[in-house]
Structure 1
C-alpha cells in the first residue's frame, strides 16, 4: 500500500488545483486592417483565433483615424494583416507607434503585408507630386484577384505556423480545404465571366484594377482626374467624350466613394452606373470571400445584359 502523508496530500491537491486553474493555450489575436484579410484569416484559423477588422466595407482604407480603440486592439495583437503597398500609410504607422507593440512592427515578426507576397500591378517607373496620390509599390487592392488570393492564403498560413507552431496541423488542414474550394470556385468564376471579356468601364478609382484584370474587362478612365483627387467638372466633361468614343458601358464605384460624379456621368452619357461591393460586407450578399466574388460577377453580368 502506498501511503501519502498530510504534506504530500497538500502538495498533490495544490498541483491539481493549479492545473485546473491554468488557462488553455491562448488564442492568437489577429488585427486585420481590412475585412477581406479578416475573412482570409478566418478561413485558415477557423475558430482558433480572435480576429478583429479595423475597417468596414463602408470605409475608405486609405483614410482611417488612429482611434484609441484601434490602438488598444493593436497593443494586444500577435499578428497584423494589411494590404500593404502603402495603402495604410496614413494611419498604420501611427497605430504601431502608439500601441508600442514590438511584435507587430516588422514583417519578420507579426506583421504581414499581402502585397509583399504577390506580383503587384501598375508599379510606376517614376513618381512625382504632379501625378497625384500614386502608390510607388503598385496597386494595393490585390484581394480582388482570385489567383492572387490563393497565393496569399499559402503565404499567410506559413506566417501563422511561424507564430503558432502548436496549431500547424490545423492551419495546414484548413489551408488545404480552402485551397480546394477556392480553386474550384475560381474555375467557375472564369467560366461565368466569359461574357464580360472586353467590356469597357470607367471607375472612380483604381479600386477594382485586379478584378477587371481577372475578368478581362477594360478600364478606359477614372472619375478621379488623378489618384486621390475628387472629380472635377472639366474632367467629367472630358469623360463624356471618352464614353462616346470608347463605347463605355458601365461606371463603377464603391460604397465609400461619392456617387454624385458617377450619377452625373451615367445620366449624361446614357450608361449604367453601379455601386459594386469592394470587400466582404459590401452588401448583404457579400459576406465572405466566396460570396463577394459571386456577387461581383452576378452584378456585372446583370449590367452587361441590361
Structure 2
C-alpha cells in the first residue's frame, strides 16, 4: 500500500491541463501529450462558431495551463466572454498559455475587406485547418514548442511524441493521397466552406455552395439555381456535416438524383475516434460515392 500511495503521489509527466476550443485540437494534443488532462469546448456535432459560456466550460478554462483554439475569428463570438468569466491570466490573448492555430499557418480565403453584405465571412481566412495534412504538421510543431515552454522538464518526451506523430502522419498522408487520386478534378456541392482545405488538398472542385451567402440558410430560389447547375455540371455528391441543417442538401439530392453525404467534421464521433480515422472515413465515403456513380 505505501508503494501504491507513493506512485499516486509521484508527479506525472504531461500533467498539464489543456483546454481546446475544437475536438481536432483535443485529438492532436492527445497525440503529443497523452497524459495531459484535455477537454474540448465543442464536439464534432456542434457548430464551433456558436458556443455558450456554460459554467462547466468556465471551470475548465479557469483551471487550464494552456488553451488551444483555431483562431482566425472562428471563436470570436464566444471565446472572449469565456476568457473574461474564467478569469485565468494564463489563457488571455497574448499570454503564454493561449495558442491560436491561425498564428502558425497560412489560411485559405483571406480577405482584405469585409462588410455585412458578404455574410458570415472571416477576414483572417478559413479557420478549419484540420483538413490540411501539411497545416496539421505545422500546428503540431507549434503545440509541441508551447508544451516544452510550459513544461520544460518533459521536453524530451514531447519531442519524441512529435517525432512519432509526424512520421505516422507523413506515412498516412502519402497513403491518403494515393488512395484519393481518383477524386482529383471531381465536382461537388457543399455546405459553407467547411471542407475547403480537404477539397483543396485532394483537388476536388466545390462547384456550388448550399448557402446563398456564408452563414445564411439555403433559400428556395438558391436551391433552384443549384438544381439547374446539376443539369449541366457533373456533380458527384451533395455534402454537409453533422452540425449543419441537412434539409437543403436532401432536397437538392433528391431532385438532382445525387448522393447526399454527411461527412464527419471532427474526431470524437462514432465514425472517427482520432484525426487519422477522420481522414480515413472522409476519403472512404467520397470514394464509395464515386464508385457508385457513373460520372
Aligned residue in 2 for 1:68: 55
The number of residue pairs the alignment matches comes to: 286
Give deviations 1:243-290, integer Å, cap 9, x for gaps: 2222212110001111110000011111111000111024x2311011
Partner of 1:221: 208
CA change 1:231–1:180 in 2 (3 A) is same
Q: CA deviation at 1:127?
A: 1.1
Residue equivalent to 1:32: 20
Sort the Cα spacing of 1:20 and 1:39 in 2 relative to 1 into closer, same or farther, 3 A: closer
1:15-94 equivalences under 5 Å are: 24=11, 27-47=15-35, 49-94=36-81
Question: What is the CA distance between 1:23 and its match in structure 2?
Answer: 6.0
Give matches, 1:124-163, under 5 Å. 124-163=111-150
SS at match of 1:191: helix
Task: Please say if 1:251 is aligned against 2:238.
Answer: yes
Q: In structure 1, how many angstroms separate the alpha carbons of the residues matched to 2:232 and 2:149?
A: 53
Q: Distance in 1 between matches of 2:167 and 2:176?
A: 14
Q: Establish whether residue 288 from structure 1 lines up as the match of residue 242 from structure 2.
A: no
- Runs of 4 or more consecutive aligned structure 1 residues displaced over 2 Å after TM superposition: 19-26
- The alpha carbon displacement at 1:126 in A equals 1.9
Which whole-Å deviations, capped at 9, do the CAs of 1:189-228 have from their partners, x for residues lacking one? Answer: 0000000001101111111000011111000121111111
- Given candidates 184, 203, 211, the residue that maps to 2:190 is 203
Segments of structure 2 that go 5 or more residues without pairing to the other structure are 1-5
Over 3 Å counting, the alpha-carbon distance change for 1:38 and 1:245 in structure 2 is same
Root-mean-square deviation over aligned CA pairs: 1.5
Distance 1:187 1:105, change over 3 A: same
| Equivalent position of 2:284 in the other structure | 298
What SS does the aligned partner of 1:206 have?
Answer: coil
Contact 1:107 1:113 survives alignment (8 Å): no
TM-score (norm 1): 0.90
Q: Output the CA distance in 2 between the equivalents of 1:92 and 1:106.
A: 10
Task: Provide, for residues 174-203 of structure 1, a one-character-per-residue CA deviation record: whole Å limited to 9, x for no partner.
Answer: 000000000000000000000000110111
Asked if 2 retains the 8 angstrom alpha-carbon contact of 1:118 and 1:148, the reply is yes
**1:119-153 per-position Cα deviation (integer Å, ceiling 9, x unaligned):** 10001132111000110100000001111111111
The unaligned stretches of length 5 or more in structure 1 are 1-18
Pairwise mapping of residues 180-199 of structure 1 onto structure 2 (< 5 A)? Answer: 180-199=167-186
TM-score by length of 2: 0.94
Task: State the secondary structure of the residue aligned to 2:266.
Answer: coil
